[in-house]
Structure 1
Amino acid sequence: MATVTVGGNTVSLAGNELSVSDLAPVVELVGKDLKTVKVGGSSEFIQVIASVPSLDTGVCATETRKFNESIAKMDGVKLTVVSMDLPFAMERFCSTQGIENVVVGSDFKNKDFANKYGVLLADGNLAGLTARAVFVVDKAGKIIHKEIVKEVTTEPDYDAIVKAVNSKGCRNC
């Protein structure tokens, strides 16, 4: 079983551990407008799927703002940030933070994303939330980059994400 740390404390991850070259499972999430948001599988876009414990924390807010300013503006890329936040909280967060270029999706209903992508925090103070992770999925639906951030309170490697997206011929990246 994979582990991460939260504030230095080891936490187990539950769910199906995915690897680079695996097909990204298709999962339906709930959007901030209560409509369905689909991630994974084949798509006309390169997908960047980032999971965070909650949008309403300092590190998660910073990460989402950075994605909003950079990766989400790349042509041919769809960026989705997944959390367990309720859709109403996601709407409030996006409107107060000026987040316009990022799709947000909640996994609160059945934790399908967290389980199918292996990022469900299984124990500790944040049990039931998603770990901080990023998956880059090519148009065929194959995972070409995966980062499970080892310490949940730190940001992902943005340069590695951009490099993975660029490796698939992203336009205007």
Structure 2
Amino acid sequence: MATVTLKGTPFETVGNLPEKGSKAPDFSLTKGDLSEATLADFKGKKIILNIYPSVDTGTCAQSTRTFNAKASELENTVVLCISKDLPFAQARFCGAEGLEDVVMLSQLRDDAFGKNYGVSFTTGPLKGLLSRAVVVIDEEGTVTYTEQVAETVDEPDYEAALKAL
């Protein structure tokens, strides 16, 4: 398990991020139209998983905006923003912000993503939500970069994630 902090107070996640060089675990997450998205749906593309607790917090919203701006400049790359927010809230946020270059996905129906990627909080006030992390996956489905953000209110290292592409 990983230990991260929320404003300096330590909390634990269910596990650790996938190891660099390993195959990315498959997932089934809910899209805005309530259909399912799997890792296989993005086969052949470079993938940035932008994982966070809720788009309704300042840092999560900012990471979505930042990756949206960067995604428009990337070839053969998709940014998946993943949280436990309802797809309706995710769509509302992107609509209000005019964000069109990220794919919002919800862990609405199945908690396997958080467990398989090691990002579900198991203790603290955010228990059950996803911790802030970034995972980069290449076109072959191999993990090339991971970052478990140590302090939940901090933004991820965007440049390091983009460099891993």
Match of residue 67 from structure 2: 67
**Does the CA contact (< 8 Å) of 1:42 and 1:140 recur in 2?**
no
Match of residue 138 from structure 2: 138
Matches within 5 A, 1:108-147: 108-147=108-147
Task: In structure 1, list runs of 5 or more residues that go unmatched.
Answer: 166-173
Q: What is the SS of the residue equivalent to 2:95?
A: helix
**Structure 1 residue 163 corresponds to structure 2 residue 160:** no
Match of residue 150 from structure 1: 150
Root-mean-square deviation (CA, aligned residues, Å) is 1.5
Cα distance in 2 for residues equivalent to 1:140 and 1:39:
11
Q: Percent identity?
A: 38
Cα distance in 1 for residues equivalent to 2:71 and 2:154:
18
Cα distance in 2 for residues equivalent to 1:49 and 1:61:
15
> What number of residue pairs does the alignment pair up?
165
Match of residue 43 from structure 1: 43
Q: What is the SS of the residue equivalent to 2:134?
A: strand
Q: What is the SS of the residue equivalent to 1:70?
A: helix
The offset of 1:140, in angstroms, is 1.1
The offset of 1:108, in angstroms, is 2.2
Match of residue 27 from structure 1: 27
Query: Cα deviations across residues 65-118 of structure 1 (Å, max 9, x unaligned)?
Result: 011111354111011000000111111111111111100100121211111000
User: When the two structures are superposed, what TM-score results if normalisation uses the length of structure 2?
Assistant: 0.94
User: When the two structures are superposed, what TM-score results if normalisation uses the length of structure 1?
Assistant: 0.90
- Judged with a 3 Å threshold, the aligned counterparts in structure 2 of structure 1 residues 40 and 7 are, in CA distance, closer, same or farther, namely farther
Task: In structure 2, list runs of 5 or more residues that go unmatched.
Answer: none
**Does the CA contact (< 8 Å) of 2:43 and 2:139 recur in 1?**
yes
- Judged with a 3 Å threshold, the aligned counterparts in structure 2 of structure 1 residues 42 and 81 are, in CA distance, closer, same or farther, namely closer
Cα distance in 2 for residues equivalent to 1:38 and 1:80:
11
Cα distance in 2 for residues equivalent to 1:87 and 1:106:
6
Cα distance in 1 for residues equivalent to 2:68 and 2:123:
30
